[in-house]
Chains A and B, each alone.
Chain A
Amino acid sequence: MLGFNILKLLSYLFLVLFLMQPDVAHATQAHSYPEGLYVHQLAHFFFILSMATFIYWLRERGLSRDKGWRLLQYCALCFILWNADAMLAHYLESQEGLFVTREQTTLDAVLIASGGHTAETLIYYFAKMDHLFCVPGIIFLYAALRCFLAKARGDRVK
């Protein structure tokens, strides 16, 4: 089982390395240490992987039929979305010349798209609101734990 996991994990790794197009990343100058960004992105990917595996296990064990575990599954799904979103945001951030920010020090700060990059800028703008994924995720976790607790109490009473 574990061997299978590692295989899966490695294949994902290669896929993401391919997708990330290192040469593109190299060209950017937003990060003076590109390996930092790489590690960060890989960590996000690792997170996605572990959550996916988690969901996979929950489904395989048939635990998702249980309310608590189902909630936990939703939580993992939210975290996957959030990580994907964060990876996208980091990626767009690392691209040079898509947009610039003005009046960064005030509340009136704005994001100005460079010519011809309106769509990317818009995507980046919404991707930046990554909390819309991770907050529901943790709420699901909270609900799942509550569910477990209630059930454990019920068992004890029995």
Chain B
Amino acid sequence: MILPLFPIWLIDFAGSSLMIIFSFLCVHLAMRLFNQDRENAVWIYFLWITSALAVFAISRGVGHVVKDLLIMSGRKDIWTILQPYSGAFNTMTFVLVASITLFFERVWQINQTILRDKQALQDSHGQILYLNRHLEDLVMERTRELRKSENKYRRIFESSRDMILVTDQDGQILEINPAGTDLLGFSKEKVENNACSFKHFFLRQEIWDRIVEELLAKGYVSDLETELIGPEGNVIHVLLSGSVECLLPDNGDTFDVVQTTDHHDVKEFFHFLVKDITRRRAMEQQLLQADKLASIGQLAAGVAHEINNPLNIILGYTQFLIKHESEGTDRYEDLRTIEKHVRACKNIVADLLSFSRSTRTRKQQIDLHECIKEVINVISQQFELDQVRISTEFDSRVPTMILDGGKIKQVFMNLFMNAKHAIGKDGLITVKTLYDQDAGQVEVRVEDTGCGIEPQNLSRIFDPFFTTKETGKGTGLGLSVSYGIIKEHGGEIKVESEPGKGSVFIVSLPVNQ
């Protein structure tokens, strides 16, 4: 069998050329890959292997072509010399390619590791970045929340109508709200200078000691009723609640009370909420007063009625005797004295009777100003003898009201007489009226420049028979009768007074009745 060698040569030649061309194209591609990402070990690896392949393709291709050319040109002897070199070189090149290929797995693994590490690094970097940014936001948000909350509580603290204060164990005031400074009557600076002790505001010091004891033992006190001393020495009735807060001085963290009582580093602070119940107390007192008045009224009504008749008889007989006695004799004077005192008794009885409302009220449309003016007309002359002047400031808007004119006059007469007594000689009584349209009531203020009323007497002046005047001068019924009359009209009577400076009696009467 004869086979032509030409096709083999042709394929050799073409194949070798293609091998060379493509191997170089491969190197080029690998180069481009490498340039895209110089850190990628796989691309570096491809660069190696394609380069090795290119060397191989050249060595083999050139070998083949040279061999074919030499044989065809009849120079087989030269090829015989070259052949071992070509063969050896070829061998070396593909051993090289094969060896490099065997490293693929390693390279791949290394590359994977690098990529993984890189990814991990990037991930963690991203995470850190995210966290950083997020943390900032978080902190900002938290701060905002805290500020909001702080503002909220600050507002409660600042605008509370009740006193809120923080003190240390010795009563040193550390913080106090405006309501507190108002109530106790001192400046904020004084607190900041640590110059205020809550202890000293207690009317009775032992109360403070008891509070501290109870706070330390139980951790709280609640709704304790006690008295504080106000800015002008007045007694303030308060409802006091307190609790203990323990602070570690180093970090300021708060702890629960019970857990830390045996911790010797902690410092105890007291929080107090103090409610001024003076007004409530006063109201309660007034209620009590009304009660007292009602029962006394019933009693007095009976007694007065019984006494009234005998008194009339005594008075009648006394006057009868006086008629038959000539003036100037001792008997005449004695009878006069009897008559005077019987009249005084009758006055008291009359007072008692009116106090006990035994006289019926006759209400009609009345001009309050006219009413007051009439009273002033009666007394002004007598007052002026002692240099006691009466000035009026009437609110022209005050409408006519349905009142029992006689009784109202009696009220003002009482008030003016009391004022005159308080002044003694030389002073001023001011009568002011004020119409409060919204509340639907008229307020009458009777101010005097008299001696004023001692604080401890303030709560008692409306009591029947309470008087500071010597016997014979005062019955102690004037104010309680006035109180009854005003109550009957659905109004109120209050007093404000400063000892040594004067008093103000405030009568408020409702308009539409």
Interface, chain A (partner B; CB < 8 A): 1-2, 5, 33, 36, 39-40, 43-44, 46-47, 49-51, 53-54, 57, 61, 76, 101, 104-113, 118, 121-122, 125, 128-132, 134-135, 138-139, 141-142, 145-146, 148-149, 152-153, 156
Contact = CB atoms under 8 A, between A and B. Distances in A.
A107 B72 contact: yes
Contacts of B71: 104-105
B22 interface: yes
A75 to B, nearest CB: 10
Which range holds the interface residue count of chain B?
35 or more
A51 B101 CA distance: 7
Interface of B: 1-9, 11-12, 14-16, 18-19, 22-23, 25-26, 29-30, 32-33, 36-37, 43, 46, 50, 53, 57, 71-74, 76, 84, 87-88, 90-92, 94-95, 97-99, 101-102, 104-106, 108
Nearest to A145: B29
Contacts of B87: 36, 40
A142 B50 CA distance: 9
B33 A145 contact: yes
A57 B50 CA distance: 19
B36 A145 contact: no
Contacts of B23: 138
Contact of A53 (B3, B18, B43, B102): B102
B46 A36 contact: no
Contacts of A107: 6, 9, 72
A148 B94 CA distance: 24
Given A47-B98, A134-B19, A149-B32, A39 B91 contact: yes
A95 to B, nearest CB: 16
A49 to B, nearest CB: 7
A84 B90 CA distance: 16
Given A33-B84, A145-B46, A51 B74 contact: no
B216 to A, nearest CB: 71
Contact of B26 (A54, A128, A145): A145
Interface centre among B11, B90, B92, B101 (most CB of A within 10 A): B101
Contacts of A125: 3, 8
Contacts of A110: 2-5
A156 B36 contact: yes
